Structures are given as C-alpha cells and as structure tokens.
Amino acid sequence: MKVKQDSILRSNGVNYIVPFVLITSCFALWGFANDITNPMVKAFSKIFRMSVTDGTLIQVAFYGGYFAMAFPAAMFIRKYSYKAGVLLGLGLYGLGAFLFYPAMLTGMYFPFLIAYFILTCGLSFLETSCNPYILTMGPESSATRRLNMAQCFNPMGSLLGMYVAMNFIQNSLDPMETAERAQLDTESFAALRDADLWILVKPYLAIGAVVVLMMVLIAIVSMPRNGDKQRTTAFLPTIRRIFSVPKYREGVIAQFFYVGAQIMCWTFIIQYGTRIFMEQGMGEKDAEVLSQQYNIFAMILFCSSRFICTFLLKYFRPGALLGTLAVAAGLLTLGVIFCNGIAGLYCLVGVSGCMSLMFPTIYGIALEGMGEDAKFGAAGLIMAILGGSVLPPLQASIIDLGSVAGFPAVNISFVLPLICFVVVAAYGYRQKHFCQA
C-alpha cells in the first residue's frame, strides 16, 4: 500500500484543506476590520470636528481590545478548543459591528469607541485562535510558511476594507471641508453629522451579517482537534516558562514595534498624501481621496509581496529574510522623512512591500517548538498588537504640531516607524540561525 507523503497541508495522512480554507477566511475578515478602520481616524475627526490626536482614540479602543482580551482568550481556548475560540471571536466581532447602529443614534463619539473595543475583543479571540491553529494543520517543519500562506488572505480583506472605506464612506461623506464645518451652527452641524454617521455605519452592519454567517458555517463543519488535548489552565507557571525563552520574549517586543509601524504607516499615509496634494493646489476632499488610492496601492503591494515572500521562505531562513526586509523598510522610511514631495509618498507605499513578511514570520519564529504552550504564547504575541494603540497617538501628536523647525511635522513623525523597523531588524538578525522553513 502506497503511503501519501506529508505536505504543507497534510500530515500523517490527514488532509487539512477544508479547515485551512475556513480558518483562512477569518484572516480576511479581520483584515477587513483593520483596514476599514484606519481611514476612519480622518473620517471621525472631520465628522465630529476633532483634532487628529482625538481621532486616534479609535486606534486606542481598537488595539486596546486586542490587548485586553488576548490572555482571557488563551485561557478559554486552552480549556475548550481552538474551534470554540474562533466561534466566540466571531460572535464578539458581529456584536461590535451591530453596536455601530445604536452608537449612531446617540450622535456621540464615545459609544463608537465602545463598539470598536467589543469588536476587537472578538478579533483578539480570532487571532489568538486562528494563528496557532494554522500552525498545527500540517508538519511543524513548514509551519512558518503555512502561516505566511494563510496570512496572504489577510491583505485581501484589507484591500476590500480600504475599497469600502474609500468608495462607500469617504466618497459619500458630505464634501464640506473641516474649516467650513467649524463655522456651522449647532443645528446644522447635528444634521450634517447624523447624515455622515449613517453613511459610515452601513458597511459595519453589512460585515456584521457576513460574520454571523461565517460563524454558523464553522459551527456546523467538523474541524480538527489538533492541540486541544490539554484542558488545564496553569496560567502563571506557563507564562513564566514561555517568557523565560529569549526567542519568544524578544519576539513579543519585535511584534509590538512591528504592529505600531504598520498602523502608523497605513493610518497616516492619508495625512502625508493630503498635505502633498493640497500644496499642489488640490482641495482637501480630493486630496484625501487620492491619498486613499495610494493607500490601496500600498496594500496591493503588501498583498503581492506576501505571496512572493511565502515562496522565498522555501529557500531562505525566516530570520535572515525578516532582518533584510526590515532594513529595507528603514531605508525607505528615511526617504519618507527627507523627501518632501511625491517621492516621499512613493517611499511610503514601498514600505508596505517590506512589511508583508513581518507579522507571521515573527509569530512563527517566536512560537516554534512550543507545543501546547503555543496557546498562551499566541496570546502574548496578540497582546503585542497594543503597539498599534500606543504608537499612532504619539505620531498624531507630532503631526498636530504642523511643523518642526520649518519642516513638515507629518514627515518628522515617521521617525517613530523608523525606530520600529530598527527593532524588527535586530530581532530578525538575532534569529537568522533559525532553521530553514
């Protein structure tokens, strides 16, 4: 009898294609949530007549949910199963999306922050469940490459999120510019605000319905029980054990800085591009729309590069490739800072091509060989997504200065992503001995 050989999605004669496809669909769902949210910093700032710094409270609520729920999610998954974690994550995701409607009815900013927080508690469950679950769906030797393959579908959801943000939200909002809105009386402002909020809320209600359908589908399909043997929740001993491993501990730090860099580059590309195009005589709304198109180009490059990098991982060590791309991202970020014009915007788009490998590769390197501890290890890496909550407001506070020593503050603000890429490069090169995937 001929025995089928193991492959990236087959181990010990078990084929994981169907579960892989279903769980990978969740990667696209949280990609959509992440990248419909980044442009909302600008949209909410305009709708509620707030500063950029106040607008980034969305990012604080969004990525704060990841931080708050990561270890509770790990404990839940360890007690029950990866599938249970995925289902609860989808449920919280859908609930948060549907809460946008009552938030709209209040006409206030704060209820939207609560909705974002609940939504991302669901995303925290999803990422804490799905990433290590994918690692178990095949041989350990190809785990990092398999996770990179699954993560290829994350930017596809991100592209859809950007497309919806640009065409169904930003292009549909009232074209009145921020300065004109500031002159409106209370009644006129309230009418304009409510009309814009309804435009903003509709896509979230739609994605909420899609998430509920996905939850039902995963609930009725038989899923593998890989990694679900352990039922104890020895929390503190496990945490001490995993954080005693330098490769893991440093991976959490690198992930914090990477996510911060990613969110800063994707959130503030709109402010960066808007300044450039307005200096060329373009109106604020047209400049924002054109800047969002560059953001979409950046995501297309990110998506394409992830497929290419997944292929390259067959031939290069993950740590070495990670470090090389982080150095390239740092050099491009220098171009963003010092090139005052369209060349700087091209550099900012190019950074996305370098970032595509980083999240799943840091994740795979840090969790390699952890076995059952990967459940709590995954939680620490998801908590590191807090970098997307902490660092963007710092960058926004620099942008709000307008200029620094006569130099555009938005350019200067990209010193923060530069520092982040230095940290990621250091981690990659420290782990370059990591075995070939």
Question: Which structural domains are found in the chain, ordered by start?
Answer: 9-221 (1.20.1250.20), 235-436 (1.20.1250.20)
Tokens representing 221? 């399909």
| pLDDT tens digits along 203-215 | 999 999 999 999 9
Cβ-based neighbours of 41, under 8 Å, separated by 6 or more: 52, 55, 56, 58, 59, 267, 392, 396
Q: How confident is the model at residue 434 (pLDDT cuts 50, 70, 90)?
A: very low
| pLDDT attached to residue 437 | 38
Q: State the alpha helices, DSSP H only, in 143-185.
A: 143-151, 154-164, 178-181
| C-alpha distance from residue 266 to each of 59, 270, 321, 371 (Å) | 12, 8, 22, 34
Range in 18-32, 35-49, 138-152, 375-389 the model is least confident about: 138-152
340/64 Cα distance (integer angstroms): 33
Please determine, for residue 2, whether its predicted confidence score (pLDDT) is greater than 60: no
Residue 337 host element (H or E): helix 318-338
pLDDT value at residue 3? 40
The DSSP 8-state label assigned to residue 274 in this structure reads H
pLDDT of residue 369 exceeding 90 = no
Cα-flanking dihedrals φ and ψ of residue 156, to 5°? -65, -45
Tokens for 435? Answer: 């075995």
What value does the mean pLDDT of the chain take? 85
Residues 6+ apart with CB under 8 A from 236: none
**50/48 Cα distance (integer angstroms):** 6
Residue 282 φ then ψ, to 5°: -85, 150
List the structure tokens of 271: 């402010």
Please give the residue that has the higher pLDDT: either 234 or 429.
429
Q: Kindly tell me if the per-residue pLDDT of 113 is higher than 80.
A: yes
How sure is the predictor about 172, in pLDDT bands with cuts at 50, 70 and 90?
Answer: confident
How far is the CA of 418 from the CAs of 16, 246, 406, 425, in angstroms? 39, 24, 21, 11
Q: How far apart are CA 97 and CA 203, in angstroms?
A: 9
Q: What pLDDT score was predicted for residue 46?
A: 82
Residue 344 contacts residue 334 (beta carbons within 8 Å): no
Tokens at 1, concatenated? 């009898």
pLDDT of residue 430: 87
Residues 277, 429 contacting (CB under 8 angstroms):
no
Lowest mean pLDDT of 192-196, 218-222, 372-376, name the range: 372-376
Q: For residue 355, which of 282, 272, 281, 254 has the smallest C-alpha distance?
A: 254
Q: H or E element: which one contains 403? A: strand 403-404
Instruction: Tell me if 403 sits within 8 A of 274, measured CB to CB.
Output: no
Q: For the chain, what's the residue count?
A: 437
Report if pTM > 0.75: yes
Residue range 121-164, pLDDT digits in tens: 999 999 888 888 888 777 776 777 788 788 888 888 888 988 88
Residue 107 tokens, joined: 């006409």
Under 8 Å between Cβ of 190 and 107: yes
Quick one: which of 349, 353, 357, 344 has its CA closest to 296? Answer: 349
* Closest listed residue to residue 383, CA positions, set 60, 65, 117: 65
DSSP 8-state symbol, 222:
-
Rounded alpha-carbon distances, angstroms, from residue 436 to 31, 49, 75, 234, 371:
28, 52, 31, 32, 19
User: Which of 93-97, 244-248, 271-275, 381-385 has the highest mean predicted lDDT (pLDDT)?
Assistant: 93-97
Res 216 pLDDT > 90: yes
- Provide the pLDDT for residue 315: 85
* Cα–Cα distance for residue pair 116/219, rounded to 1 Å: 25
Least confident segment among 40-44, 172-176, 432-436: 432-436
Q: What is the pLDDT of residue 326?
A: 96
